[in-house]
Chain A
């Protein structure tokens, strides 16, 4: 479980992204209270040092130490500025600011020691920097750890969004099923998978008989609604491992992994029965019954295209035997 504040932050993910776009140069102004608190704490340490100690004489000052310690001090404040300028408000940011702030105050106190002599007996001598520094480092480490987790969650979220977008294109708008291209893709994967597992794979194409007369008699809106309801009906009659796609128009495709010719024939006649027992109600309340024809093709070393072609061919033959076509 990620910490709750990370989740909260994630919920704000969109506003976060928008925020970055809007104000990526001026984000430091969001953190004025944090900066003010750090400045105040620094002032306090100066006052404290002055209260307990005396300013050193010029000859007592070690200039090399001053240069080294002020360098650390300046760099810390630079890190703080860079970090805060690239972060929105939030718990991870507060942790980062706290860690860097503590390190800054610790190193500043170190610098103070060089110019203010604090008596050996005072409890303040050396205690501030030696507590603030390690605590600051620990807080910073914690903050960086959460920052990393936050980034992982963000990238996961982004990946999920992209996947949705990609699959959206392979989806039929009306029924929400996969479309013919999705079927093609799945068929390729399943063919390979089932061959590896030494399992049979069967493709069933199912087509409504006389769908165009429904459209003509009741209008295309009814036809669309019928397709949607039929989708749910077919889904209810499938096994969990089966895949239903809308091939095109009133033709559906069912991919049956693990089903040989016999099982597939059985399953597809179940589908046909379900369709013929389905009393579709038009908006006027009229019941309309349908029948469906199927074409079953079991993989015997086919390419995806030839398997679809074979199923189509058998479907058309089945349709012809129901309602003979012209020669």
Chain B
């Protein structure tokens, strides 16, 4: 069994994640044939309920949707419609979770079906619950559609479990263009230009019991998920590599050592990375950037310490690299978020 899926592995059940996108398009009056043009998906197969599509087809579907519904609210509408959706036991486990943290754990564990194109990573400390979003099988082309959509979907789950909007904080990569959409859908605590995609909630709210408290149904749904998704690769190739790199820091890591641990030749590894529009150095830099930001803002480590952990000769080199990765110096992000 392989541990990951690639952008041409047919592993996304078309009636799960893609259905939310297709339904949104159809409800806004798009022609199904036009929406599916160039994706290699056919409406009859889709309606059969047993079609599996590749991540690359899913990206093509999103491109069509964005082109044909260019409104600024499209990712948010798609996000609101995603859950509970048609994900079988995973839907139940999400919407009947005893608390939000458990729902987020379900999301992280079964993200292969719940969020196949963006990898959610949960991280809990004494005060906050953080949910980071990473590229899964394709390095995003700088558009925020998927992150906007997935963060809206999680926001929507939180609102469903507690029947009120929750005080999430949002951290976004770049600048935001449609301020009003974020303000209405997410609230006022949105921070652009943070160079990561993450959301954060106070831990006591995440662990507070939810309104829809039916413990047994949630437990059964989780069991069903376990048996149903046991034999299926759980994460996208790019996210898998990032995970390996993240786990090995502060130890040493190289292209060869990662290829070794994947049981493939370096040439094959390089070719696979290229297929996902990335290369090893880019993965390494991305992970180091994310870790540096995490350490700077959450643990408030000093620059020397971070430089040592990330194998920089000294803090000056780290500053220079950081500037190259993000366009700003670490001191600009030092403020606790």
A residues with CB within 8 A of B: 172-173, 179-180, 207, 212-213, 215-216, 220-221, 224, 247-251, 312, 316, 323, 325-327
B19 beta carbon closer than 8 Å to chain A: no
Shortest distance in angstroms between B65's beta carbon and chain A's nearest beta carbon? Answer: 14
- B residues less than 8 Å from A251 (CB atoms): 180, 184
- A residues less than 8 Å from B184 (CB atoms): 207, 247-251
Q: A180 touching B178 by the CB < 8 A rule?
A: yes
Q: B80 touching A326 by the CB < 8 A rule?
A: no
Residue of A nearest to B208 (CB): A326
14 contacts between A and B (CB under 8 A): A180-B72, A180-B178, A212-B80, A216-B160, A220-B77, A221-B27, A247-B180, A249-B184, A251-B180, A312-B183, A312-B188, A316-B188, A325-B167, A326-B167
Shortest distance in angstroms between A303's beta carbon and chain B's nearest beta carbon? Answer: 14
CA distance A272 to B73 in the complex (A): 25
CA distance A216 to B160 in the complex (A): 9
Q: With A172-B71, A325-B167 given, name 16 new contacts (CB 8 A).
A: A180-B178, A180-B180, A212-B156, A213-B163, A220-B24, A220-B80, A247-B184, A248-B180, A248-B183, A248-B184, A248-B185, A249-B184, A316-B187, A325-B165, A326-B162, A327-B167
- Set A172, A216, A249, A326: member contacting B164, Cβ < 8 A: A326
CA distance A316 to B24 in the complex (A): 28
- B residues less than 8 Å from A221 (CB atoms): 27
Q: B81 touching A249 by the CB < 8 A rule?
A: no
CA distance A83 to B298 in the complex (A): 77
B residues with CB within 8 A of A: 24, 27-28, 71-73, 76-77, 80-81, 156, 159-160, 162-167, 178-181, 183-185, 187-188, 205
Q: B181 touching A248 by the CB < 8 A rule?
A: yes
- B residues less than 8 Å from A216 (CB atoms): 160
Query: Which of A207, A212, A250 is the most central at the interface, judged by chain B CB atoms within 10 Å of its CB?
Result: A212
CA distance A216 to B85 in the complex (A): 11
Residue of A nearest to B185 (CB): A249
- A residues less than 8 Å from B24 (CB atoms): 220
CA distance A15 to B165 in the complex (A): 55
The 3 nearest A-B residue pairs measured at CB? A180-B180, A249-B184, A248-B180
**Given A312-B188, A325-B164, residue A220 in contact with residue B81 (CB < 8 A):** yes
Residue of A nearest to B183 (CB): A312
CA distance A179 to B72 in the complex (A): 10
- A residues less than 8 Å from B164 (CB atoms): 323, 325-326
CA distance A274 to B164 in the complex (A): 24
- A residues less than 8 Å from B71 (CB atoms): 172-173
**Given A173-B71, A224-B27, A312-B188, residue A326 in contact with residue B205 (CB < 8 A):** yes
Shortest distance in angstroms between B337's beta carbon and chain A's nearest beta carbon? Answer: 19
- B residues less than 8 Å from A207 (CB atoms): 184
- B residues less than 8 Å from A212 (CB atoms): 80, 156, 159
- B residues less than 8 Å from A327 (CB atoms): 167
- B residues less than 8 Å from A215 (CB atoms): 80
CA distance A247 to B205 in the complex (A): 29
CA distance A326 to B187 in the complex (A): 13
Shortest distance in angstroms between A233's beta carbon and chain B's nearest beta carbon? Answer: 20
CA distance A216 to B180 in the complex (A): 22
Residue of A nearest to B165 (CB): A325
CA distance A251 to B180 in the complex (A): 9
Query: Which of A215, A248, A327 is the most central at the interface, judged by chain B CB atoms within 10 Å of its CB?
Result: A248
- B residues less than 8 Å from A179 (CB atoms): 72
Shortest distance in angstroms between A63's beta carbon and chain B's nearest beta carbon? Answer: 72
CA distance A213 to B4 in the complex (A): 37
- A residues less than 8 Å from B72 (CB atoms): 179-180, 248
CA distance A179 to B165 in the complex (A): 24
- B residues less than 8 Å from A250 (CB atoms): 184
Shortest distance in angstroms between A186's beta carbon and chain B's nearest beta carbon? Answer: 14
Q: A249 touching B181 by the CB < 8 A rule?
A: yes
Shortest distance in angstroms between A217's beta carbon and chain B's nearest beta carbon? Answer: 12
CA distance A180 to B164 in the complex (A): 25
Shortest distance in angstroms between A55's beta carbon and chain B's nearest beta carbon? Answer: 75
Q: A326 touching B76 by the CB < 8 A rule?
A: no
CA distance A224 to B162 in the complex (A): 24
- A residues less than 8 Å from B180 (CB atoms): 180, 247-248, 251
Shortest distance in angstroms between A85's beta carbon and chain B's nearest beta carbon? Answer: 41
CA distance A216 to B84 in the complex (A): 10
CA distance A316 to B188 in the complex (A): 10
CA distance A180 to B179 in the complex (A): 9
Q: B73 touching A248 by the CB < 8 A rule?
A: yes
Residue of B nearest to A212 (CB): B159
Residue of B nearest to A316 (CB): B188
- Set A180, A220, A249, A316: member contacting B27, Cβ < 8 A: A220
- A residues less than 8 Å from B167 (CB atoms): 325-327
- A residues less than 8 Å from B81 (CB atoms): 220
- B residues less than 8 Å from A249 (CB atoms): 73, 76, 181, 184-185
Shortest distance in angstroms between B8's beta carbon and chain A's nearest beta carbon? Answer: 32
Shortest distance in angstroms between B272's beta carbon and chain A's nearest beta carbon? Answer: 39
Shortest distance in angstroms between A92's beta carbon and chain B's nearest beta carbon? Answer: 41
- A residues less than 8 Å from B27 (CB atoms): 220-221, 224
CA distance A216 to B159 in the complex (A): 11
Query: Which of A173, A215, A247, A323 is the most central at the interface, judged by chain B CB atoms within 10 Å of its CB?
Result: A173
- A residues less than 8 Å from B163 (CB atoms): 213
